[in-house]
A and B are shown apart, each in its own frame.
Chain A
Amino acid sequence: EMVMTQSPVTLSVSPGERATLSCRTSQSVSGNLAWYQQKPGQAPRLLIYGASTRAAGIPARFSGSGSGTDFTLTISSLQSEDFAVYYCLQYHSWPRTFGQGTKLDIK
């Protein structure tokens, strides 16, 4: 089973600043990685798929990069609504696996 490691577990950033979240996989997933945002009491929301393609309606301040085993989600200028938990998902192999999440909170 693919092991996903997200870092950091918690990231404290001030509004307007840049946030960089990491996801590492135990084996190569090529570009088959997605990022999700989840707020309390809500279902996850797709942000990025194919490692770097923004989903429909996702603001340009969200960007993804990476391939193989190392991936990054960057939020260029944090807005108040961006403080949430972020998960990566690999869909390269079965079973599908999620990272354990990074909580982005206000500094």
Chain B
Amino acid sequence: VQLVQSGAEVKKPGASVKVSCMTSGYTFTNYFIYWVRQAPGQGLEYMGIINPSGGGTSYAQKFQGRVTMTRDMSTTTVYMELSSLRHEDTAVFYCARDSDSGSWLGYWGQGTLVTVSS
């Protein structure tokens, strides 16, 4: 199982960023993909999930209205787009997958640093 994320981004306040998570090594439609944010020096924060099978999503209340998670079945890639960026959105964003045998996060991408700077 591999989750490979896109590279670091620098964005201006008010812009949007789209981070990709390319998956391989398993059946894409069998497992949810999660997104987790980690601000500098801070803890892990759950953002939401996408079900690659039907594309259904569920977002944490904090990010409702600003986050959109999508998937591309042809490339087994999941995307997380965050809009209306503010300085405090500067963070590392991780995608992660359920374990093979349960709902804990067993596999993680390497993380993508998004810097919001004017």
Contact = CB atoms under 8 A, between A and B. Distances in A.
Given A43-B110, A43-B111, A44-B108, A97 B46 contact: yes
A95 B103 contact: no
Nearest to B3: A43
B103 A32 contact: yes
Contacts of B99: 46, 49
Given A49-B99, A89-B104, A95 B46 contact: yes
Contacts of A100: 43
B58 interface: yes
Contacts of A1: 61
A98 interface: yes
Interface residues of B, number: 21
Interface in B90-118: 94, 99, 102-106, 108-111
A89 B105 contact: yes
Nearest to B101: A49
B79 to A, nearest CB: 19
Given A43-B109, A89-B104, 13 more contacts: A34-B105, A36-B105, A43-B108, A44-B44, A46-B99, A46-B106, A89-B105, A91-B104, A96-B34, A96-B46, A97-B46, A98-B43, A101-B43
Top-9 shortest CB links A-B: A43-B108, A34-B104, A98-B44, A49-B104, A91-B103, A101-B43, A96-B46, A100-B43, A95-B60
